[in-house]
């Protein structure tokens, strides 16, 4: 298994690949994880990612690749050597891949699976899902490993005076400053914060899918272009509140309006859980096992 892990790559690749690796291990597979571009060893959700490149993998029976930094030609070369499973969020699927997985494209074909049924969400989010509270006291803000443009910090600062508890996730590559009155959350899994908070303001990547599976009402910010198709789909289905482009003032106002509307929060929660059932990783694992 190989995933982008350089400081500028964000945490989405590592998060979903770590979750998949954990499921595969529980099902009896031997998994080796290489962090592409990682400056050092990284631990994520119980999976140890060693720094290196694809050559460090040797001769795996199946290679799961979650990477934008790997050139298409190099990925296609690996597809000629082994059964290649590739996450596909943008551009064309990897030529020759035995299986392409996408949560933003619905066009299944030979060797392609797509849609929210394959959302790579840890089972724990589904297992700990709960209806929204009638009142919002805890708001979680999380905008990725780097917090592009400081939008997450700005949202948290705007909301700090309005709620009993406002927490800001500080990824390993984000600036360490935290606004006054805001609780920092650093490192580790977001399972407890996402399933424990009453409302989340989040980037529209893997963390948004986790919030949907948990039934946590979400205001979503598109902080990277590849997040837009999936976020727009969830917004059209009435499962999230979408702010695009990611404006901190609009996001904070959307959070306040959502907090004041229990009925809407319950509707968002139910629709989100219906769309993202939290069993996507098991479905992916089954398809990978069929290859090997």
pLDDT digit string, tens, across residues 191-228: 999 999 999 999 999 999 999 999 999 999 999 888 89
Structure tokens at 203: 């980037």
| Helices and strands: H and E segment counts in the chain | 10, 14
As to burial, measured by CB atoms within 10 angstroms (0-12 exposed, 13-18 middle, 19+ buried), residue 291 is middle
Return the structure tokens found at 114. 């797509």
Distance CA 7, CA 13 (A): 12
Q: Is the dihedral of CA 225, 227, 230, 235 positive or negative?
A: negative
**Hey, what CATH topology would domain 124-275 get?**
Rossmann fold (3.40.50)
Contact 32, 23 (CB under 8 A): no
Break the chain into its structural domains and give their ranges: 2-121+279-291, 124-275
pTM: 0.91
CB atoms within 10 A of CB 95: 14
CATH for 2-121+279-291?
3.40.50
- Identical fold for domains 2-121+279-291 and 124-275, yes or no, is yes
Nearest Cα neighbor of 243 from 223, 264, 269 is 223
Per-residue model confidence as pLDDT tens digits over 146-182: 777 889 999 999 999 999 999 999 876 666 679 999 9
Q: What is the mean pLDDT of the chain?
A: 91
pLDDT band at 12; cut points 50, 70, 90: confident
What pLDDT does residue 149 have?
Answer: 81
């Amino acid at each position: 298994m190989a995933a982008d892990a350089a400081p500028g790559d964000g945490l989405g690749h590592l998060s979903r690949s770590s979750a998949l690796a954990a499921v595969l291990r529980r099902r009896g597979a031997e998994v080796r994880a290489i962090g592409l571009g990682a400056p050092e060893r990284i631990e994520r959700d119980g999976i140890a990612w060693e720094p290196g490149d694809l050559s460090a993998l040797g001769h795996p029976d199946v290679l799961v690749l979650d990477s934008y930094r790997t050139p298409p030609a190099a990925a296609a070369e690996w597809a000629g050597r082994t059964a290649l499973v590739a996450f596909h969020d943008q551009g064309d699927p990897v030529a020759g891949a035995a299986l392409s997985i996408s949560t933003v494209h619905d066009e299944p074909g030979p060797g392609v699976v797509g849609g929210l049924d394959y959302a790579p969400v840890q089972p724990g989010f589904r297992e700990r899902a709960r209806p929204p509270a009638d009142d919002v006291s805890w708001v979680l803000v999380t905008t990725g490993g780097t917090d592009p443009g400081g939008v997450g910090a700005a949202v948290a600062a705007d909301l700090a005076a309005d709620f009993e508890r406002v927490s800001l996730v500080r990824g390993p590559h984000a600036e360490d400053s935290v606004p006054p009155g805001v609780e920092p959350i650093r490192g580790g899994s977001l399972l407890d914060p996402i399933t424990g908070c009453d409302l989340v303001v989040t980037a529209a990547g893997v963390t948004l899918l986790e919030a949907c599976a948990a039934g946590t009402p979400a205001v979503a910010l598109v902080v990277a272009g590849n997040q837009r198709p999936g976020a727009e789909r969830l917004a059209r289905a009435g499962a999230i509140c979408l702010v695009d482009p990611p404006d901190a003032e609009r996001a904070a106002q959307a959070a306040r309006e959502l907090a004041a509307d229990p009925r809407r929060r319950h509707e968002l929660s139910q629709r989100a859980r219906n769309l993202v059932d939290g069993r996507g990783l098991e479905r992916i694992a089954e398809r990978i096992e069929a290859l090997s």
